[in-house]
Structure 1
Amino acid sequence: MGTEAFYTTAAQVLPTILIALMVEIGLMLQMRGRRYGELYREKYDALLRGHAPPTSFPGDPNFDIESAGRSLNRWGFISMAVGVAFLIGEGLSLSALAFRWFTAWTFWPLVVSMGVMIVAAVCIPFVRQTQV
Structure 2
Amino acid sequence: MRTVVAFALASAAMTLSACEPQAPLASDFIPEYKGVETALLDGDLVQFNVAMTKAQSGQDVADYAECAAAQYTLIRGYGFARHVRTNVAQEAGLWRGDAVYTISPSLPRGIKTIDAEVTVAHCVEKGIPRV
Structure 2 length-normalised TM: 0.31
More helix by share: 1
More strand by share: 2
**Which protein shows a greater Rg?**
2
